[in-house]
Amino acid sequence: MEEKEFSFGMSEEQRTIKETVARLVKDVVSDNAHDMDEKKAIPPEFIQKVWELGAAVSVIPEEFGGYGMEYSPIMNTIILEELAYGDMALAIAASLPAMFLYPILEAGTDEQKKKYIAPYCDASFKPCTVAVNEPRFKFDPVSLETRAEKKGAAYVINGKKCFVPMANNSAHMLVAAQDDGTHDLFIVSQDNPGVKIGEREKNIGLYALESYPVIFENCEVPVSDRLGGEQGCDYGKFLQKTRTALSAIGTGVSRASYEYAREYAKERVQFGEPIASRQAVAFMIAEMAYEVDAMRLMTWKAASALEAGKDAKRESYLAKLYAGEMTMKITDYGVQILGGHGFIRDHPVERYYRNGRGIAILEGMATV
């Protein structure tokens, strides 16, 4: 492969897509994010509008129902940042099909690709989901407690998952489980009798995103539904992509908080001048500005490695670690700069603060 130029600059295509998503976010999401949060629901037509951008389907080969365009992790981080800038709940919801389809596209057997990809390459959004997180202390995606035991022609899955977005409406989910020391992903149908979807969860943030606990009780999955079949999949690579994606989402939420607080600080007058004229506030804003950029650059760095087909274990790990820490710091600053007003739900910074908590904690909620 020919060596690419080292560059921080967006191509025409990257800029165009970024602007298109940004426009959609501005038109559809921005003014409604508060309502969505209060009503604890995302209107399906919003998700449909994002789906119509075609980002996920575009990279799926024509033989499986897509448009066969070039797959680009960097482009995906750009899209995710813009969506999360509008609303993190919508960003996760709208990217769920990619979360399900990309791993199958990359690691699935021909049979799996034929069977599972095409039905989702539809003009209308169909939810499908991924179950990675587990409701327990010391949860670790590389040492899962959900087990998959091979018994004859099936794997038997046992364990508890939480924070499975849109699980009640998803016909299929990818389930991460440990199989004798190795980690694997399994394609599981919602109607499998071993799948029990619990009551909708109540969480600190992402009110608009429906999420559920899912319990697997002797859930039998045919061997042919283990992602990658006999070979299994590269679970490490799966994590690299989801970690990079979460970093992009963290960047988006942080940027939203930063920009809102910055504009507020210019308008808010106390002691006869804008509060931004005081260094104590101005320096917080400066810090927010460069940390948002740093987060984005680290996300791009991990995505660059992925795009070059290289191992991005270290880059994606550091990007997510950084995004987790910094999103909390920046969204905290966002509330702090608004003071008492930041605590009131009329301003979005309180929502960013609650939503931002998820970046460090969650795993496997989006992919590039």
**Site residues (vs other proteins, CB under 8 A):** 3-11, 13-14, 74, 138-143, 236, 239, 262, 265-266, 274, 276-277, 279, 282-283, 285-287, 289-291, 293-295, 297-298, 300-301, 304-305, 307-308, 310, 313-315, 317-319, 321-322, 325
Nearer to other proteins, 74 or 93 (CB): 74
Q: What is the closest distance, in whole angstroms, from the C-beta atom of residue 261 to other proteins in the complex?
A: 11
Q: What is the closest distance, in whole angstroms, from the C-beta atom of residue 253 to other proteins in the complex?
A: 17
Nearest to 326 by CA among 358, 355, 297, 291: 291
Nearer to other proteins, 226 or 262 (CB): 262
Coil, strand or helix: which one is 334? helix
Nearer to other proteins, 200 or 278 (CB): 278
Compute how many other C-beta atoms are within 10 angstroms of the C-beta atom of residue 274.
16
Q: Following CA atoms 303, 307, 309, 313 in sequence, which dihedral angle do they give, to the nearest 10 degrees?
A: 0
Structure tokens at 297: 């650059």
| Residue carrying structure tokens 């501005």 | 26
Nearer to other proteins, 13 or 52 (CB): 13
Nearer to other proteins, 223 or 321 (CB): 321
Nearest to 160 by CA among 221, 214, 218: 214
Q: What is the closest distance, in whole angstroms, from the C-beta atom of residue 281 to other proteins in the complex?
A: 9
Q: Following CA atoms 363, 132, 301, 251 in sequence, which dihedral angle do they give, to the nearest 10 degrees?
A: -40
Structure tokens at 221: 């999955």
Q: What is the closest distance, in whole angstroms, from the C-beta atom of residue 276 to other proteins in the complex?
A: 5
Give CA separation, 259 vs 11, 103, 305, in Å. 25, 34, 29
Q: What is the closest distance, in whole angstroms, from the C-beta atom of residue 42 to other proteins in the complex?
A: 29
